[in-house]
Amino acid sequence: MLSSTALPLLSNSVNADSVKTSKSYSDQVDVNQQTSSNLSQSDIELADKYVEVKNNQFYITQQGQNLLPNNVFNSVKKQIEKTNQAIIKDRLIVDPQTKEIAHQSPYVMFASGFRGATRIHRGCYVHGFWWGVRVYFTSNAAVNWFRSKLSTASGIATIVSMVAQVTGHEIASTLSDALGAYTDSTSNRLANFNRRHRHSKIYMDAPNISFHTF
């Protein structure tokens, strides 16, 4: 993995698509592992192109309502309703182009080449989306830091608290649920994926824990 330059906490952001990038390699135990809304990773990837933003709220397009299988449509609708409630409750802002979720804050600055994802630690950034949370790692040190936090309940709580500053508590809870259920597995898989892609930057999606390069 490439190393990153030290930057102020909660200052910069990373550009990426809401579900996948041009160079994305999944490393999952099961691509159909499901979220609390019964959405698998493949369901999310299928539905995302039919989810758009209007008036700072997510909605399923008419085309999506017509084309998505009923079970997927119902699960996506349930997840979007939950996310939209969180957006209102936590006063979050949704980018209508990228579908990224974040707090509108004067302390979040945008630098050239880094847009949309907020830094929670040196080399570690986070995005919120309608389906959950994406965590970026731009250095080996960031991966090691994240794994060290996964080793204790208090460390996991610290990560979730940091993410909640960006995405709000409801959306951050998707990461909390995933890490609480698969802590050891997530830590080991993150280390193995990072080891196999040492010359790439990587990210992790939750609650369906999967790993990718960008």
Q: What is the pLDDT of residues 2-41, one digit of tens each?
A: 544 333 344 444 544 555 544 444 444 333 344 445 789 8
* Structure confidence at residue 119 (pLDDT): 87
Q: Count the domains in the chain.
A: 1
Q: Domain for residue 57, yes or no?
A: no
Q: Domain for residue 192, yes or no?
A: yes
* Structure confidence at residue 17 (pLDDT): 54
Which parts of the chain sit beneath pLDDT 70? 1-37, 104-116
Q: Do 165 and 123 meet the contact criterion of CB atoms below 8 Å apart?
A: no
* Structure confidence at residue 182 (pLDDT): 78
Q: Domain for residue 155, yes or no?
A: yes
Q: Domain for residue 72, yes or no?
A: no
Q: Domain for residue 209, yes or no?
A: yes
Residue whose C-alpha is closest to residue 206's, from 10, 33, 17, 2: 33
Beta bridge partners, 129, equal 132
Q: Where in the sequence is the domain holding 141, given as residue range(s)?
A: 94-213
* Structure confidence at residue 197 (pLDDT): 94
Q: Domain for residue 197, yes or no?
A: yes
DSSP 3-state of 142: helix
Going by the DSSP 8-state scheme, the letter that residue 27 receives in this structure is -
* Structure confidence at residue 6 (pLDDT): 38
* Structure confidence at residue 115 (pLDDT): 61
Q: Domain for residue 82, yes or no?
A: no
Neighbour count for residue 137 (Cβ, 10 Å): 26
Name the pTM for this structure: 0.81
Residue 119: phi, psi to the nearest 5? Answer: -80, 130
Residue whose C-alpha is closest to residue 165's, from 200, 123, 133: 133
